[in-house]
Amino acid sequence: MGFFDIFKVKDINGELEKAKTIEGSVILDVRTVSEYKGGHIPKSINIPVDEISKVSVKYQDKATPFFVYCLSGARSAGAVRIMNQMGYENVVDMGGISRYHGEIEY
């Protein structure tokens, strides 16, 4: 990653299209439970960033492909770092749902 990569805006919509093509991929919303209940990407699961260690209970396979998002991208970036430290190999930070243009589920 180069210096200017930190200024790139994540393309949540493009990453979701990729997620749909990968068998067994998990769309992970790391916002709070109340934020998730207020509207989320269909078929996403919610594990708040402050409980991210719980991902290892549900997903033991470290090769599971994860596509992670939050509201703006800050929490998802933190969750991805933690998941990488936990040994997960295929974790993508999609950024924030605030840039999402698709269907919302409640």
Q: What share of the chain is helix, strand, coil (3-state, %, to 5)?
A: 40, 20, 40
pLDDT over threshold 80, residue 1: no
Question: What is the enclosing helix (H) or strand (E) of 18?
Answer: helix 12-21
Torsion (CA) 14, 4, 49, 25 in degrees, nearest 10: 30
Q: What is the pLDDT of residues 19-63, one digit of tens each?
A: 999 999 999 999 999 999 999 999 999 999 999 999 999 999 999
pLDDT band at 76 (very low <50, low <70, confident <90, very high): very high
Question: Residue 9 has what pLDDT?
Answer: 74
Which residues, 6 or more positions from 64, have their beta carbon under 8 angstroms from its beta carbon?
A: 24, 25, 26, 88, 90
**Rounded distance, CA 61 to CA 89, Å?**
10
Residues near 4 by beta carbon (within 8 Å), at least 6 away in sequence: none
What's the chain's average pLDDT?
A: 94
